[in-house]
Structure 1
Amino acid sequence: MPAAKIYKRGRGKNGLEVSPINTSYRVLSLTFRPSKRVNMTVSDSPVTVSCLASDRANKITIVNDTSASLDVFVSKYSGGSDEWFSLARGASDTWQRGSGLWEAVVVRQDSKRMGLYVQSGSQVTVHCVNRDNKGIHVAQGNGKNENHISVLNYSSVPVQVYVTKYSNDRGSDEWFQLGTQTSDSWARPGWEMVVVKSPLGEARTGAYARAGDLVVFNG
């Protein structure tokens, strides 16, 4: 695969300019979560995402299957609270959200954090906290700027990306297209959820990253 072309939005011809970036990252294969509702159980995966009963299509349930307590928050794009809640070892809790709509789920255990992007009507069972979940890799400190989160599309097709704005309420959390073999960065001084979807939106995945990180995915 040829070397990735690194761009920054907002300057130069067509609003783009070449910008240097540290590309010494480990590229992993990206596995998108299909929009068609299916149970997902991956061997050695840090999480298992499964479907709830049809009468619970407006809920997201988190199960703590790790050996210690977890802190959890669920985004509130379709309503509810996005405060952190503690989940004891072996415990579970449920968040009500818009039926069939997508939300970010973030779990924290000591210094480790992990993010997922799931559809309401799902149960997320957390087995361990690992930032490199389901093929998406967070290269810590490899971004363009210590106050930005960088995203590199190392795949052969364009994708759409959005980044939450918890640490910068002046930022945008709209979807932006990211071309093949290109990168972009979002001004975020703290931790955020980075979400990627395929061109038609039928497949989506995500990762939790902080300022200075580079999120890499390979279609």
Structure 2
Amino acid sequence: MALDRSATQQEVKQQYYKLALLLHPDSSHPSSSPDHFATLNKAYNLLSKQSSRSAFLKTGYGWDVSTSSGGNQTWSDSLMRAEIARRRNGGAAAWNGASRRYRDSDAGRGAWGGFDGSQGWRPYEDPSKGFSPPTSGPAEERYMSNPRFLAVVGVASAVIAWVHWHRLGYAAETHRDMLDKQNIDASRALAQARYEAATHGHIRREQIRRRVREAEVLKELEKADQGHIAVAGPPTAYPPSHRE
């Protein structure tokens, strides 16, 4: 049973129930067979009692490989059959009635283990010896059907596409706003440059005209100083004429 020599009774019982679900003849596990299940029962009967367990560990006496489990159905066998029937009918939707097996990926786990204590396993100090198979299952699908899976994938794809489309539209709108802002800023800068050019150009032209006039005045003054300009004298006086 793959247990330590110092394993407790509770650990022996827990390991037995775990292996029984795998080795039972109605199981789909590759190792399931009547011989394996009978051997497991003999090992459990030997180790579940403290007296027989102590004698076996000390002397090796008590294990008889030639003894069979008999044709009568034991208590554990009936419980295992009821549990497997419950799982087949309502506990897993992957059961194939033709081949009497679950999916290969479920062997050793999934359909054969992982009870949370709500429907199958009970604490080992329970008077019912730790296991009480319910009479009916919840009839819930263990695996999602193909139409439902395709519907889920379609909805998820639609949501993802809508999110990307929304983000793309927001990005395009943001880009347009940025271009409009750049055009407005460029127009303002151009108008400011034209205004400054017109204002400074007018001032420049006035300065040039003033300098030209100043230069002409200076030239005239220089000519006057050099005597090139004749100074007008007093008007000529003529003698009066004598009329008779």
Q: Same fold (TM over 0.5)?
A: no
Q: Determine which structure has greater relative contact order: mean sequence separation of CA pairs < 8 Å that are 6+ residues apart, divided by chain length.
A: 1
Q: Which has the larger radius of gyration?
A: 2
- Write 1 or 2 for the structure with the bigger share of strand: 1
Q: Which has the higher helix share?
A: 2
Given the two structures, how large is their TM-score scaled by the length of structure 2?
Answer: 0.18
**Normalised TM-score (structure 1):** 0.19
